[in-house]
Amino acid sequence: MPEGIPTGALEDGLLMQASFWVLVFPLVGFVVLALFGDAMKREGKADWGGYIASAMALLSFSSAAFVVSRLWKLMPVGDQGLRFAQPYLGFEWIDVADFRVPLSLLVDPLSAVMMLVVTGIGSLIHVYSTGYMHEDEDRVRFFSYMNLFLFFMLVLVLGGSLPLMFVGWEGVGLCSYLLIGFWYKKQSASDAGKKAFVVNRIGDAGLILGMIMAFTWFGTLDLVEIAENASSKPAEAWLVFGPLTLVALALFVGACGKSAQLPLHVWLPDAMEGPTPVSALIHAATMVTAGVYMVCRLAPLYAQSETAMAVVAGLGCATALVAATIAFVQTDIKKVLAYSTVSQLGYMFLAAGVGAFGVAIFHLVTHAFFKALLFLGSGSVIHAMHHEQDMRKMGGLRKHIPWTHWTFLIGTAAIAGVPLLSGFFSKDAILAAAHHHHHTVLFALGLVTALMTAFYMSRLYFLTFWGNFRGGHELEHHLHESPWSMVGVLVILAVGAIFGGYVDIPGIVAPVFRLPIEAAAHGLLVPVLATTAGLLGIAGAWYAYVKQPDLPAKVSASARGLQRALEEKWGFDLAFDWFTDKVVVGGSAGLLWKRVDAGLIDGAVNGAGTVVDAVSRAARGFQTGLVRGYALVILGGAVLVLSYLLWI
Amino acid sequence: MGASNYLLSLLLLLPLLGAVVIALAPRANVGLQKTLGMAFSLATFALSLLLVTGFEPVAEMQFVERYDWIPAYGISFHLGIDGLSLWLVILTTFLTPVALLGSWSSIEQRVKEFNVFMLLLEVGMLGVFFALDLFVFYIFWEAMLIPMYFLIGIWGHGRRIYAAVKFFLYTMAGSVLMLVAFLVLYKETGAVGFGLAELLKRPVDPGLQFWLFLAFALAFAIKVPMFPFHTWLPDAHVEAPTAGSVILAGVLLKMGGYGFLRLAMPLFPQAALEMAPWIALLAVIGIVYGALVSLVQPDMKKLVAYSSVSHLGFVMLGVAAFSTTSVTGAVYQMLNHGISTGALFLMVGMLYDRRHTRDIAEFGGLKTVMPWFAALFLMVGLSSIAVPGFNGFVGEFLILVGSWRAFPGMVIAASLGVILAAAYVLWMIQRVLYGEVTNPKNEKLPDLSPRELAVLLPLVFLAVYMGIFSPQFTRTIEPSVAALVRDVRSAGAPAHNAAALPAAADAR
Report helix, strand and coil shares of chain A as percent, to nearest 5.
Answer: 75, 5, 20
In this complex, the residue of A96, A99, A174 whose CB is nearest that of residue B387 is A174
Q: Provide mean pLDDT across the span A84-99.
A: 89
Contact yes or no for B270/B494 (Cβ under 8 A): yes
Cα–Cα dist B447/A587, whole Å: 37
Taking the mean position of all CA atoms in its chain, how far away is CA A353?
18
Contact check, Cβ <8 Å, A185/B423: no
Residues 351-390 of B with CB under 8 A from A: 365, 367-368, 371, 382, 387-389
Contact B286, B343 (CB under 8 A): no
B508 vs A98, A184, A213: nearest CB: A98
Q: Residue A186: left if φ>0, alpha if ψ -120 to 50, beta else—which one? A: beta
Average pLDDT estimate for A617-634: 79
Yes or no: say if A296 and A351 are a contact pair by the CB < 8 Å rule: no
pLDDT > 60? residue A4: no
Instruction: Tell me whether A201 touches chain B (CB under 8 Å).
Output: yes
Amino acid at A619: A
Distance from the A188 Cα atom to the nearest Cα atom in chain B, whole angstroms: 9
ω into A300 cis (within 30 of 0): no
DSSP at B504: T
CB atoms within 10 A of CB B471: 17
**How far is the alpha carbon of B400 from chain A, nearest alpha carbon, in Å?**
7
pLDDT at residue A636 in the model? 87
Compute how many other C-beta atoms are within 10 angstroms of the C-beta atom of residue A552.
Answer: 16
Closest CA to A283 of A344, A348, A203: A344
Cβ-contact A64, A116 below 8 angstroms: yes
- Give the separation between CA A343 and CA A451, rounded to whole angstroms: 12
Q: What is the pLDDT confidence band of residue A230, given thresholds at 50, 70 and 90?
A: confident
Task: State how far the Cα of A442 lies from the Cα of B53, in Å rounded to an integer.
Answer: 64
Radius of gyration of chain B measured on its C-alpha atoms:
22
Which amino acid is it at B60? E
B474 interfacial to chain A (CB closer than 8 Å): yes
**Is the minimum CB–CB distance between A638 and chain B shorter than 8 Å?**
no
Q: How many C-beta atoms surround the C-beta of residue A484 within 10 A? A: 11
Q: Yes or no: say if A283 and A353 are a contact pair by the CB < 8 Å rule.
A: no
Give A519's pLDDT tier (boundaries 50, 70, 90).
low
pLDDT of A214 higher than 50: yes
- A191 in Cβ contact with A225 (< 8 Å): no
Residue A28 to chain B, least CA–CA distance (Å) = 16
Q: What's the gap between Cα B477 and its chain centre? A: 16
Residue A76's pLDDT band, with cuts at 50, 70 and 90, is low
Residue bearing the bigger pLDDT, A477 or A541: A541
Size of interface A-B (CB pairs under 8 A): 140
Buried b (16+ CB within 10 A) or exposed e, A506-540: bebbbbbbbbeeeeebeeeebbebbbebbbebbeb
pLDDT recorded at residue A72: 86
Nearest Cα to Cα of residue B314 among B304, B299, B326: B326
Higher pLDDT, A241 or A599: A241
Q: Tell me the HSE value of B191 on the side-chain side, using a 13 A CA sphere.
A: 4
Chain-centroid distance of CA A65 in Å reads 25
- b or e along A102-136 (b: 16 or more beta carbons within 10 Å of the residue's beta carbon)? bbbbbbbbbbbbbbbbbbbbbbbbbbbbbbbbeee
CB contact under 8 A, B474 and A94: yes
Q: In this complex, is the C-beta atom of A99 within 8 Å of any C-beta atom belonging to chain B?
A: yes
pLDDT number for residue A6: 55
Mean pLDDT, rounded, of chain B: 91
Instruction: Tell me the pLDDT band of A54, cut-offs 50, 70 and 90.
Output: very high
How close does chain A come to B233, measured CA to CA in Å?
11
Q: What is the DSSP letter of B226?
A: P
A199 touches chain B (CB under 8 A): no
If you average pLDDT over residues A161-176, what whole number do you get? 95
Instruction: Provide, as residue numbers in chain A, all residues whose Cβ is less than 8 Å from the Cβ of B394.
Output: 93-94
Distance from CA of B158 to the nearest CA of A (A): 18
Looking at residue B86, what is its pLDDT?
A: 96
Any residues with CB less than 8 A from the CB of B310 and at least 6 apart, and which?
A: B286, B287, B288, B289, B290, B291, B294, B417, B420, B421
Angle of CA points A435, A437, A441, to nearest 5°: 55
Report pLDDT for A411: 96
Query: What SS3 state is found at B386?
Result: coil
Percent helix, strand, coil in chain B, to 5, is 75, 5, 20
Pairing, β A7-10 against β A82-85: parallel
B463 and B380 Cβ atoms separated by less than 8 Å: yes
Q: Which residue of B has its CA nearest to A595?
A: B293
pLDDT < 70 positions in chain B: 1-3, 494-508
Contacts of A193 in chain B (CB under 8 A): 430
For residue B466, the SS3 value is: helix
Q: Residue B293: its chain A contacts at CB < 8 A? A: 588, 592-593, 597
What was the pLDDT predicted at B301? Answer: 93
CB contact under 8 A, B415 and A601: no
User: Residues of A numbered 23-82 whose beta carbons fall under 8 angstroms of chain B's beta carbons: which are they?
Assistant: 38
Q: What is the pLDDT of residues A425-446, one digit of tens each?
A: 999 999 999 988 888 899 999 9
Paired with A487 in beta bridges are none
Q: Measured between CA atoms, how close is A569 to chain B, in angstroms?
A: 24
Closest Cα of chain B to A205: distance in Å? 6
3-class secondary-structure state, position B76 = strand
Tell me whether B498 touches chain A (CB under 8 Å).
no
Q: What is the mean pLDDT of chain A?
A: 90
Q: For chain B, which residues make up each domain, given as ranges?
A: 278-495
Question: For residue A24, which amino acid is it?
Answer: V
Per-residue confidence (pLDDT) for residue B497, from 0 to 100: 47
ipTM: 0.91
DSSP code per residue over B31-48:
HHHHHHHHHHHHHHHHHH
